[in-house]
Amino acid sequence: MMALPLRTWVIPVTVVTLTLAALAYAGIGLDEDRIREYIRLTSGSSVLLFALAWSASSLNTLLPESRWRPVLRARRRIGIAFAISHTFHLIGIIALYEIARGGDWGDFEFLPGAAIYAVIYAMAFTSNDASVRLLGRNWKRLHTVGGLILWGAFTVSYIGKISEYGFAQHYLFSALCVALVVVRIMAWRKR
Ligand code: HEM
Residue 2 has pLDDT above 70, yes or no: no
Each domain of the chain, given as residue ranges in start order, spans 6-190
Residue 1 has pLDDT above 60, yes or no: no
Q: Which amino acid is at 114?
A: A
Residue 45 Cα to ligand 1 midpoint, Å, equals 12
Q: Whose CA is nearest to atom 24 of ligand 1?
A: 113
Q: Which amino acid is at 106?
A: G
Residue 142 has pLDDT above 80, yes or no: yes
- pTM for the whole structure: 0.95
In this prediction, what percent of the chain has a pLDDT beyond 70? 99
25 Cβ partners below 8 Å, 6+ apart? 34, 35, 37, 38
Q: Whose CA is nearest to atom 20 of ligand 1?
A: 43
Other Cβ atoms less than 10 A from the Cβ of 90: the count is 14
pLDDT digits 0-9 by tens, 61-92 = 999 877 889 999 999 999 999 999 999 999 99
136 Cβ partners below 8 Å, 6+ apart? none
Burial of 17 (0-12, 13-18, 19+ CB in 10 A): middle
Of 49, 8, 32, which is closest to residue 180 (Cα–Cα)?
49
Task: Output the average pLDDT for the chain.
Answer: 96
Ligand 1 atom closest to Cα of residue 47: 35
